[in-house]
């Protein structure tokens, strides 16, 4: 994982998509499970447009994480 992250160019002020949490709900959930397997327990997420994307994340991705 570290090798992957070291090769990705950062986008935006906080690294943007460097964590790879983009794609289909299934791809995002899979990537979050990969981070979890490394001991990551907390994610700081940004959404734009905020309300619509938070609602979509909660209805499409969160159920896949349970």
Q: What is the largest CA-CA distance in the chain?
A: 34
Q: What is the pLDDT of residues 23-40, one digit of tens each?
A: 999 999 999 999 999 999
Q: What band does 66 get if pLDDT is binned at 50, 70 and 90? A: confident
pLDDT above 70 covers a percentage of the chain that reads 74
CA dihedral defined by 14, 17, 22, 27, rounded to 10 degrees?
A: -100
In Å, what is the CA distance from 52 to each residue of 9, 55, 60? 27, 5, 12
pLDDT for residue 58 = 97
Under 8 Å between Cβ of 21 and 28: yes
pLDDT for residue 46 = 87
Under 8 Å between Cβ of 60 and 24: no
């Amino acid at each position: 994982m570290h090798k992957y992250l070291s090769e990705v160019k950062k986008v935006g002020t906080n690294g943007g998509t460097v964590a790879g949490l983009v794609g289909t709900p299934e791809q995002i959930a899979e990537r979050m499970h990969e981070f979890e397997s490394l001991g990551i327990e907390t994610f700081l997420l940004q959404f734009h447009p905020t309300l619509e994307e938070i609602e979509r994340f909660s209805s499409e991705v969160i159920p896949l994480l349970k």
